[in-house]
Structure 1
Amino acid sequence: MEMFCDSCRQRLKNLMELIQRASKNLLQKIKDFFESIQCCPCLKRNKPAPSRLYKPVLQQHEKEAAQEFLQHIEEASESKVTDTECLEVLQTLAASENPSLQQSAALYYLHVSEQLKSEMPEKYLEPYCALLQSNDLDVQRNASLSLVNLLVEGNVNKETVVQIGLLEPILELLGSGDATVQCNSCACVATLATSVLNREAIVAEGGIKPLLGLAKSYDPRVQQNAVGAILNLTRSDKIQLLLCKEGALPVLILQLQSPDSEVQYYSCSALTNIASNPRHHPNMLQIGDGILLKMLLSLMSSSVVKVCCQACYCLRNLSLNEDTQADIVAMNFLPQLHELLKFSSKSVNEAALAVLSTLSENHSNTDAIVSENILKTLGKLLLIHKTSPGISNYVAATIHKLATSETQKAIIDSQCVVALLQALSHLRVHDESLLYVTVCIAELTKHETIRTQIIQESDANMTAYLLMLSSQSENIDLCFQAAWIISQLGRDEMFSLLLRPHVREIIGYILRFLKHQEIRFQHLGLLTIRNLRKDSHFAAVFRERELMVQLNRISQQTVETEELLQAVLFHKEGDQKQHNW
């Protein structure tokens, strides 16, 4: 790395000593210093502009002055950037009533915020209080920008920033008349609000009202960061209520119309969080005569994928209310939703499925969903994304809810059964989505026509896989659902033939079920014996001694339970007669 020449290095050392002594003619000596080295060849190199998330509004000569003043840190390790000597100088500069000296400190922090790779020592945050409260606009701009950089890059602890008292001056800067200062201070609040502890502090210090005011700013940068800060505050249920009381809902709904896609996304995400609590739904839906639903439906057509997805998730949360579901379906919503299911983006597919899954919970929507031919699209989606947990979960849950006696033919024609069976064999045992798929297939086996198709699509590999799942003792729900499928399919002679080579495995899990403490497992074990004993091969095997002993134990247990039940009922009847007497 290039360094100062010896001559300039000595001059810089002299300057630092002067600053440390805070002499009366310090300002003039700083000016003399810049004049003495500004023509030195070591400062004439061109450097690429460092990348940053937030662009500072600085004049070119200010950037050059900051580079000249801070160049000395490049010759040493990172620890030299924040050593004790530098801290003492910064404290002196920041506390000065001279704006030029404060500007030097602010520029130093700006430079450090772009170069620092590790965490800044807590003591280095102390001078910020004076800098953020400076009367000089440039000092406010540079200091707030450097703090944003440090927060965004994780160079300072968010909770520490609040604990040492920097939140109050940051919130005061929200009231600045300068858009750059507003932008930076909003960005600080937005980043601080990612901390659970800090959210409470921001609200307690009165941060909600100024943020809502800046969310309506004409400056897109200010608006973006203000709405982003509000979004982070909505991650708290308690603060959601306070935001609604302060009038956040009309502001956020208005920003859905913003020409800035980031503002649309942040405001829609904030509304999604608020809509996760049904108590807010009435207030959300009565604003502007229900304009929120219309705006969300419009955003579903956005070319910006994340905006489109977020609109779906917000609608999903609002759809928890059945009356709202009826309003959504009545707005010709399903054709638009169907188009998103056909979209090439997997994230859009998942977002649309989230809404569809919620709508399918209400049986009054079943006919409308089926008549839109959405089932066929679900089958195709699952065939394409059979290893995708998100899509598998939603598709399986939706088909499960739509499965009725009336929809059997539509499900068979849709290829959903084939897709579910393929997904079953492709998903791994520890995938959560495997349980969703297995539960769905188990539900479908209750319908005779669909059960027949499942049997026709099954083979030896599928049978072996189901038996393997039925032995998953560490996942009792998955184990139960797989055994249920075997029991139901085993009623058919074709499937029982596939089971014959696995008779030992079947007896093994039936015995485990009969010994299980949960009644549902005992019942399923008995049901499996009843269904499979129609096959003479299984009927003979089921007469084995160990199995008969276990069946006799359950029988005796049932007799004892019945006797106890009768005794209790008789005792209650006697008490009642005595009471009446």
Structure 2
Amino acid sequence: MGQLCSRCMQLLRDFVAFVQRMSSNLVHLIKECLILISKCSCLKQNSSKARQLYKPILQPHERVTAQEFLQHIEAGFEMSPLGKESLEALRTLAFSENPGLQQSAALYYLHMSQHMSVPLPVEHLEPFYALLRSADLEVQQMSSLSLVNFLLEGNIDKELVVQMGLLEPILDLLESEDPTVQCNSCACTMTLAVSESNREAIGAAQGVTPLLALAKSYDPRVQQNAVGAILNLTQSEKIQQVLCKEGALPVLALLLESPDSEVQYYSCAALSNLAANARHHEAMLRPGSRFLLRTLISLLSSSVDKVSSQACVCLRNLAASADIQAEMVAEDVLPKLLSLLASRSEDVRRASIALLWILSQHPHNQDTLACAELTQSLGMLLSAHKRDPVIVGHAACIIKNLSLSKNRQRIIDSPCIEGLLQTMLSTDVQEDSLHCVTSCLAELAKQEGATLRMVQWMDEPLTKCLVRLAGHLEHADASFQAASIIQHMMGHEKMMLLLKRHIREVQAYLENFLAHRELRFQQLGLSTFCRLREDPEFSSAFRKSQVAKLLEQVRQETEETQELLRAAVCHEDS
């Protein structure tokens, strides 16, 4: 190894002094104990037999090992701390019945866990079994903490820990009466539970019950780690069934009211995972008791972003039925969500608008949601976050859902249409959010009031964007919707003037539409062609193109289709 720094040298000196002091005290205590026993009258009758009953606590080979280990430490780790000599010494110390020697091994591992930057060899996991099983509290504390450190730093393979048989002693330590040991063993379990195979192993080893008990601990460190472990376990559908059977739902629901925001977040996230499975909804939302729903809605007002964001996620997962959605709206959830839409946190904005999208799908909620405050917020959100595909996609879907209600005029009067148009300039054609935007605008364009609003905001960049999008037939839906928006606006002079700058591009996508196999494209292409042909410039351009040939082809195909239909109808009548 290289030269140790002054800090590490001091740590080693302190460690050596500790072990030496401990060994000296140990020998002194042994002598005192033996003297007191030898003076007892019960030994005077047969002293030779009594001497045979008491073996030295420190075995000869252990004494030699301890001395060599001290010499190794005093030498400044000239040999590798992970070498064969160190490993043999650690095994001897760890499996000793002497708590002092076990403490030496545990302290050595703790020191390594705080300074190592390389993986711990598999062989070094073996002594942990004895250390975690030790009857000495300090050994339990130090060994469990060092194992946590190794796991958190990635120095140990998590699945290998379970394969080496360390899960059983870790779970046994969950039932310790010492808060530090409880805290460390919970942290170990939480870290191990990130692996699917480990989660199943924890469930099979009955690890759920003690974790639920510690989730109610009065020690905040223990409670945090216990609930964190439960959160990781909820990622397994199989363990979800075990958790629900063991009574996890009421425990997690009550923890939502914890004064500790970390506990609130962990329990809310665990409930979100459970709510993602609709089979748990009945148990989570028992009729006549809506404690969970009301508590989650109250958490939307949390000052901690990740808590309010996770509450949105949980509510979204629970909103699988129209009744639950209506109940959320009735609980006055809208003002809270409006506040979250203006959050500085991206996660909070995304989670809140996703919940609003779910709520807007139910017709019964649309009249309530289509208020001026929400439409204003959506328009502002689109303008401020036009490059965020999650915000853009969900906002467009919400606007489309609300435009189906009788309050459509509120959307037309809001900044929503402008916001939707502007997002097209910033959205990649391959993104799903663009389809949501064009679909929403195409639906709005069916209303003359909305069309007028669109024309008002149209300019050269937007016109070019729409025409270019209409030509991207590989993205069929977005292409069709863009062409539909153009067709609805062609009745206005401003739009016709803008389109004349792109005659060649318009002609190209119309030719593709007329040659398309889908009837909807042919019909839209024909109706657009008929309207544009009334303009002299477009009419002249069409005469010099392949449009006339394509029109004749469509006509022939249409006549053939009509003949087949007539024949089919005649056959049915006969």
Q: 1:72 aligns with which of 61, 76, 80?
A: 76
| Contact 1:491–1:534 (Cα < 8 Å) also in 2 | no
Change over 3 Å in CA distance of 1:498–1:28 after alignment to 2: same
| Structure 2 SS opposite 1:117 | coil
Amino acid at match of 2:494: M
* Aligned twin of 1:361: 361
| Contact 1:214–1:223 (Cα < 8 Å) also in 2 | yes
Q: How many residues align?
A: 526
* Aligned twin of 2:512: 512
Q: Does 1:457 align with 2:457?
A: yes
Cα distance per residue 1:527-558 (max 9 Å; x no partner): 43244334343344334552233333334334
Structure 2 distance, partners of 1:320, 1:292, is 15
Cα distance per residue 1:431-462 (max 9 Å; x no partner): 54333333322222222211111011101111
| Contact 1:93–1:102 (Cα < 8 Å) also in 2 | yes
User: What are the equivalent positions in structure 2 for 1:10-29 lying under 5 Å apart?
Assistant: 24=60, 26-27=62-63
Q: Does 1:448 align with 2:452?
A: no
Structure 2 distance, partners of 1:287, 1:188, is 38
User: What are the equivalent positions in structure 2 for 1:40-189 lying under 5 Å apart?
Assistant: 72-73=76-77, 80-189=80-189
Cα distance per residue 1:397-442 (max 9 Å; x no partner): 2112111363332112221111222222233445543333333222
* Aligned twin of 1:55: none
Of the structure 1 ranges 218-227 and 90-99, higher mean CA displacement relative to structure 2 is found in 90-99
Amino acid at match of 1:125: L
* Aligned twin of 1:370: 370
* Aligned twin of 2:537: 537
Amino acid at match of 1:375: T
Structure 1 or 2, whichever has the larger Rg, is 2
Q: Does 1:433 align with 2:433?
A: yes
**Shift, 1:209, TM fit:** 1.5
| Structure 2 SS opposite 1:146 | helix
* Aligned twin of 2:289: 289
Structure 2 runs not aligned, ≥5 long: 21-57
| Contact 2:424–2:434 (Cα < 8 Å) also in 1 | yes
* Aligned twin of 1:205: 205
Change over 3 Å in CA distance of 1:475–1:111 after alignment to 2: farther
| Contact 1:94–1:101 (Cα < 8 Å) also in 2 | yes
* Aligned twin of 2:552: 552
| Contact 2:69–2:86 (Cα < 8 Å) also in 1 | no
Structure 2 distance, partners of 1:277, 1:234, is 11
Change over 3 Å in CA distance of 1:125–1:573 after alignment to 2: farther
Amino acid at match of 1:333: V
| Structure 2 SS opposite 1:216 | coil
| Contact 1:335–1:372 (Cα < 8 Å) also in 2 | no
Cα distance per residue 1:12-69 (max 9 Å; x no partner): 9xx9xxxxxx9716448847997xx9xxxxxxxxxxxxxxxxxxxxxxxxxxxxxx95
Change over 3 Å in CA distance of 1:552–1:102 after alignment to 2: farther
Structure 1 runs not aligned, ≥5 long: 16-21, 38-67, 575-581
Cα distance per residue 1:231-282 (max 9 Å; x no partner): 1111223332332222111010010111111000000111111112222222
Percent identical across equivalent pairs? 50
Cα distance per residue 1:335-392 (max 9 Å; x no partner): 2322333444443333322221111111211211123621112212222222233322
**Shift, 1:226, TM fit:** 1.0
Change over 3 Å in CA distance of 1:102–1:471 after alignment to 2: farther
Change over 3 Å in CA distance of 1:109–1:472 after alignment to 2: farther
Change over 3 Å in CA distance of 1:199–1:532 after alignment to 2: farther
| Contact 2:66–2:89 (Cα < 8 Å) also in 1 | no
Change over 3 Å in CA distance of 1:133–1:26 after alignment to 2: closer
Amino acid at match of 2:5: E
Structure 2 distance, partners of 1:377, 1:404, is 19
| Structure 2 SS opposite 1:194 | coil
| Structure 2 SS opposite 1:421 | helix
| Contact 2:62–2:93 (Cα < 8 Å) also in 1 | no
Q: CA RMSD in A?
A: 3.0
Q: 1:2 aligns with which of 2, 5, 9?
A: 5
| Contact 1:278–1:321 (Cα < 8 Å) also in 2 | no
Amino acid at match of 2:486: I
Change over 3 Å in CA distance of 1:119–1:480 after alignment to 2: farther
TM-score by length of 1: 0.83
TM-score by length of 2: 0.83
Change over 3 Å in CA distance of 1:27–1:422 after alignment to 2: same
**Shift, 1:507, TM fit:** 1.9
* Aligned twin of 2:396: 396
Of the structure 1 ranges 404-413 and 352-361, higher mean CA displacement relative to structure 2 is found in 404-413
**Shift, 1:519, TM fit:** 4.2
* Aligned twin of 2:501: 501
Structure 1 distance, partners of 2:355, 2:249, is 22
Amino acid at match of 1:542: F
* Aligned twin of 1:340: 340
Structure 2 distance, partners of 1:113, 1:32, is 22
Of the structure 1 ranges 110-119 and 223-232, higher mean CA displacement relative to structure 2 is found in 110-119
Structure 2 distance, partners of 1:306, 1:122, is 37
Structure 1 distance, partners of 2:352, 2:315, is 10
